[in-house]
């Protein structure tokens, strides 16, 4: 049985890690490389970095940061934000990231998923999606882009299914409604996506206590879960989370 992955997420803006609630009111938390090392040595299975304003500001991702993280950590990591072309994806991978997350770009140009999977392998291409609740959509959720600035009119489950068919090797379901609330993951949309696609699905947005990850793995069928505020503030460590998962009978990596 594959182990369940615990993945700290570092939202980066202006070279610093930041955290907000529902994509707003961000506060500064520290240096991304220093935090990456702490999580790498503390038992994280992977890391994910989002340059959260790159797409909205129309600028490329901070490649120097990607290179610095690659030199400093011993675990896989993914990078997203500011990726606007296949060439950008190549730069991120050559800088040391194992995966590239595409979100707004994939909505604008779904063919980038096909091209990325063909060029680098499906395992390198992650679809990031930011769904919000919407009664107008069959699944009950609509896809947003550019940090929830734009509403696309796309149904979340339909988009996840299409992206997997195009070649996305993993899908991160980041609930805008739950983001930063620390009240638990949005289990409904995570399970809808997990049940609709044949690739790994990552729950994201809302983790506040370790049992929230138990819920994500057992109730929503997620393969991995992203954590941010609950570990950035020091309220819980990765080890705390993994002990809770192990006690709940979930397979996790306990040596590092």
The pairing of strands 47-51 and 99-102 is unpaired
Query: Comparing C-alpha atoms, which of 89, 121, 123 is closest to residue 106?
Result: 89
**130 given a catalytic annotation:** yes
**In sequence order, what are the residues at sequence separation of 6 or more whose Cβ sits closer than 8 angstroms to the Cβ of residue 103?**
55, 80, 81, 127, 128, 129, 130, 145
Quick one: DSSP state of residue 2?
Answer: P
Quick one: DSSP state of residue 208?
Answer: -
Per annotation, catalytic residue among 130, 155, 215, 223? 130
Q: Which two tokens stand for residue 62?
A: 């901070």
**In sequence order, what are the residues at sequence separation of 6 or more whose Cβ sits closer than 8 angstroms to the Cβ of residue 86?**
112, 115, 116, 119
Q: Which two tokens stand for residue 22?
A: 């529902």
Query: Comparing C-alpha atoms, which of 200, 237, 163 is closest to residue 76?
Result: 200
Q: Which helix (H) or strand (E) holds 213?
A: helix 210-219
Q: Which residues of 28-66 are buried (b: 16+ CB within 10 A; e: fewer)?
A: ebeebbebbebbbeebbbbbbbbbbbbbeeeebbbbebb
**11 given a catalytic annotation:** yes
Query: Which residues have a catalytic role annotated?
Result: 11, 130
């Amino acid at each position: 049985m594959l182990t369940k992955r615990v993945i700290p997420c570092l939202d980066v803006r202006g070279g610093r890690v930041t955290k907000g609630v529902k994509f707003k009111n961000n506060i500064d938390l520290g240096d991304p490389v220093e935090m990456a090392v702490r999580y790498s040595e503390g038992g994280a299975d992977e890391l994910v970095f989002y340059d959260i304003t790159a797409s909205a500001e129309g600028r490329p991702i901070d490649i120097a940061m990607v290179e610095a993280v690659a030199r400093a950590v011993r675990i896989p990591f993914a990078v997203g934000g500011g990726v606007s072309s296949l060439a950008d994806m190549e730069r991120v991978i050559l800088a040391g990231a194992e995966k590239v997350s595409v979100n707004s770009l994939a909505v604008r140009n779904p063919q980038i998923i096909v091209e990325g999977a063909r060029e680098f392998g499906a395992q390198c291409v992650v679809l990031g999606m930011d769904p919000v609740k919407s009664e107008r959509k069959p699944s009950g959720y609509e896809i947003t882009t550019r940090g929830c600035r734009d509403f696309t009119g796309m149904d979340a489950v339909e988009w996840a299914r299409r992206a997997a068919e195009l070649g996305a090797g993993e899908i991160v379901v980041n609930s805008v409604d739950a983001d930063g609330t620390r009240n638990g993951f949005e289990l409904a949309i995570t399970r809808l996506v997990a049940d609709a696609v044949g690739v790994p699905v990552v729950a994201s947005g809302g983790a506040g206590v370790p049992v929230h990850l138990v819920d994500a793995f057992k109730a929503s069928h997620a393969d991995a879960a992203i954590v941010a505020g609950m570990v950035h503030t020091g309220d819980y460590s990765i080890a705390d989370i993994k002990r809770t998962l192990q006690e709940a009978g979930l397979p996790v990596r306990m040596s590092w």
